[in-house]
Structure 1
Amino acid sequence: MGQRDAIVAVLRRGDRVLVIERGPEARRSGYWAPLSGKVEPGESQEEALVREVGEEVGLTVSPLAKVWESETDDRRFRLHWWTADVEEGEVVMQPGEVSDARWVTVAEFLALEPTFAEDREFFERVLPGIPGIPEV
């Protein structure tokens, strides 16, 4: 069985990024992480991004650019990290999948527990170099 593709949504408002606490029905429940989801067969990464964000937090987004690639610690998924513009609107969490959602700065994300090593690496090393992200 090969690696599955998944997207990670880097949704920004000013110097903050949307992260969720994974709900009881999600894999790795209780972890704080940017929103993510599987790319379905026949779907582009951009389409998966728009669909997953809409399903999980009810926001409408426009994909901008793929900014990083990593894999999950169990190597089951190759993660394609995308920035996206977020239209105005409130987060509407999908019960079961999302327990909490917060717009956080880099420092606030790094203080959350538990988080995944690859997410910490992204926030520490990759995010500050992306255009349009203010310095911490």
Structure 2
Amino acid sequence: MAQREAIVAVLRRGGRVLAIRRGPSVSRPGYWQPLSGKLEPGETQQEALVREVQEEVGLSVSPGAKVWESETDDGRFRLHWWTADAHQGEIVPDPVEVAETRWVTPEEFLALTPLFEGDREFFEDILPTL
């Protein structure tokens, strides 16, 4: 089966990153992670980033840079990690997809459970270098 493409939004606000807890009706509910979503046909990674952030938490963001690439633990998705700055605006979570949101430091993120191993790797190895 061909891998699908997805983006991961590393939304930053003053030294913290937005973490979301997956909602009850999506796969793998309850996991903490950065915001993410699938690319739609014909969409660029930047367009997907802006759309997914708007849909899931109601923030308007500008894409920063692509900083990493990984794949999901089940191998179904190739993940394109992008930074984006979310300086202003209130978070309005989509209750279907997002159970909870928190602005966390990298250390606080690593203390959340459960986490996906790939996200742990990003927060331990990649984020400190950005």
Compute the TM-score of the two structures, normalised by the length of structure 2: 0.98
Cα separation, 2, equivalents of 1:49 and 1:28: 21
Shift of 1:31: 0.1
- Whether 1:5 and 2:5 are equivalent positions in the alignment is yes
Q: Distance in 2 between matches of 1:111 and 1:104?
A: 10
Superposition deviation, residue 95 in structure 1: 1.0
- Counterpart position of 1:107: 107
- Deviating above 3 A after TM superposition, structure 1's stretches of 4 or more consecutive aligned residues are none
* CA displacement at 1:96 relative to structure 2: 1.4
Q: Match for 1:115: what amino acid?
A: L
Preserved CA contact (<8 Å) 2:13 2:87: no
Match in the other structure for 2:116 = 116
Give distance in 1, aligned partners of 2:52 and 2:32.
Answer: 17
1:88 is the counterpart of 2:122? no
Alignment of 1:1-136 (within 5 A): 1-130=1-130
Q: 1:60, 1:87 within 8 Å by CA — same for their partners in 2? A: no
For 2:26 and 2:39, the matched residues in 1 are separated by 16
Shift of 1:113: 0.3
Unaligned runs of 5+ in 1: 131-136
Q: Secondary structure at the match of 2:118?
A: helix
Q: Distance in 2 between matches of 1:7 and 1:118?
A: 13
Q: How far off its partner does 1:51 sit?
A: 0.3
Give the CA deviation at 1:85: 1.8
The alignment's C-alpha RMSD in Å is 0.7
Q: How many residues align?
A: 130
Identity %: 72
Unaligned runs of 5+ in 2: none
Aligned-partner residue type, residue 104 of structure 2: V
Per-residue deviation, residues 8-51 of structure 1 (Å, max 9, x unmatched) = 00000111000100001112100000000000100000000000
**Aligned with 1:12: secondary structure?**
strand
Report the AA paired with residue 9 of structure 1: A
